[in-house]
Structure 1
Amino acid sequence: MTKDLFARHRAVLPDWLALYYEDPLEITHGEGRHVWDSAGNKYLDFFGGILTTMTAHALPEVTKAVSEQAGRIIHSSTLYLDRPMVELAERVAQVSGIPDPRVFFTTSGTEANDTALLLATTYRRSNTILAMRNSYHGRSFSAVGVTGNRGWSPTSLSPLQTLYVHGGVRTRGPYAHLDDRDFIDACVADLKDVLGHTRPPAALIAEPVQGVGGFTSPPDGLYAAFREVLHERGVLWIADEVQTGWGRTGEHFWGWQAHGRSGPPDIVTFAKGIGNGMSIGGVIARAEIMNCLDANSISTFGGTQVTMAAGLSNLTYLLEHDLQGNARRVGGMLIQRLRAAAAQVPHVREVRGRGLMIGVELTRPGTDEAAPEAASAVLEEARAGGLLIGKGGGHDTSVLRIAPPMSLTVAEAEEGAAILERALRSL
Structure 2
Amino acid sequence: MPGESFRFIHASDFHLEAPLGDLDAVPSHLREAMADAPRRAAKAVFEAALADNIDFLVLSGDLLSPQSAGPHGMSLLLDYFEKLNSKKTPVFWVAGLADDPQKWPDAAPLPPNVTLFPKNRVVAIPVERAGRTICVVVGRSSEGRSALHVPSYRVEPTEEYTVAIGYGASDADALAEGRFEYWALGGEHNRKAMEGGAEGGAFYCGSPQGRSLCEPGPHGYTVVDVDADQTTRVHSIECDAFRYCQVEIDASEIAAVGGIRNLLGERITRLQHENGGRHLLIGWDISITSGENLHALGDSEALLAWLRREFGSGTPSAWTASLVIRPPKHYPKSWKDEDTILGDFLRASEKFSKAGQRELNLAPYTEEHGSIRSPTAALLADVSPSAREAILDQATLLGVELLRGGKPNLVSS
TM-score by length of 2: 0.29
Higher share in helix:
1
Give the TM-score normalised by structure 1.
0.28
Question: Larger RCO: Structure 1 or Structure 2 (Cα < 8 Å, ≥ 6 residues apart)?
Answer: 1
Greater share of residues in strand: 2
Larger radius of gyration: 2
